[in-house]
Amino acid sequence: MAGPVGIAILAFAVLMAAVRPSLGQAVRVDRIELLDVGLYRGERAGQMGAPGSVAGNINRLTSVTFYERTTRVPARTGVRFGVRFDLIGEPARAVVPLRAIWRFPAPGLRDPRGGKVYTESIEDFSSPIGEPRQRGYGFDNDWELVPGDWTLEILHGQSRLLTQTFTVYRP
């Protein structure tokens, strides 16, 4: 096995050993480790469709920086709040489907353009195990500024991995 064919076989075996955990091993999700909670800033890098969300899409952000660790959120347009987390499980870097649900306080968010009232916003997304990710909400419109308890839940299938409540207040 010393010739070029032997080297190619050895290289292939090494490659398969490296990717095997993600191909053959069952994915196990244990929990979410909360890394940051509070107010953050980020650069808007576009939008993605999210039919269950308030706007029907979500903003994609880059350069996200948490600048205040808090669960109290001022009701002001431009304010963004949420969590940064690490998904704990096996194998590392396996991509896992998750669902984020924001539950809004009564009477909900009323979009003046059509009169629809939202009591929750749902986003399905994927997250790799062991790589920090962020989920949050940004006040883009005055009609979203509803004081009270806003709760974020992150689920994997029927398992609730995170529940985080923020108190939105009028400054």
Query: pLDDT tens digits, residue range 49-102?
Result: 888 888 888 888 999 999 999 999 999 999 999 999 999 999 999 999 999 999
Query: Per the structure block, which two tokens stand in for 167?
Result: 């108190």
The confidence score (pLDDT) of residue 7 equals 46
For the stretch 135-169, what's the b/e string if a residue is b when 16 or more beta carbons lie within 10 angstroms of its beta carbon? bbbbbeeeebebeeebebbbbbeeeebbebebebe
- Per domain, the residue ranges of the chain are 27-169
Helices (H), the chain: 4-24
The pLDDT tens digits of the residues spanning 38-51 come to: 999 999 999 988 88
Q: Are 3 and 11 in contact (CB under 8 A)?
A: no
Q: What is the pTM of this model?
A: 0.83
CA separation for the pair 46, 25 (Å, rounded): 34
Beta strands in 7-158 (DSSP E): 28-49, 57-69, 72-74, 80-90, 95-103, 109-110, 117-118, 120-128, 133-138, 148-156
CA separation for the pair 82, 125 (Å, rounded): 15
Q: Are 70 and 44 in contact (CB under 8 A)?
A: no
% of the chain residues with pLDDT over 70 = 86
% of the chain residues with pLDDT over 90 = 77
Query: Per the structure block, which two tokens stand in for 72?
Result: 């109290």
Confidence class of residue 19 from pLDDT cuts 50, 70 and 90? very low
CATH class of domain segment(s) 27-169: mainly beta
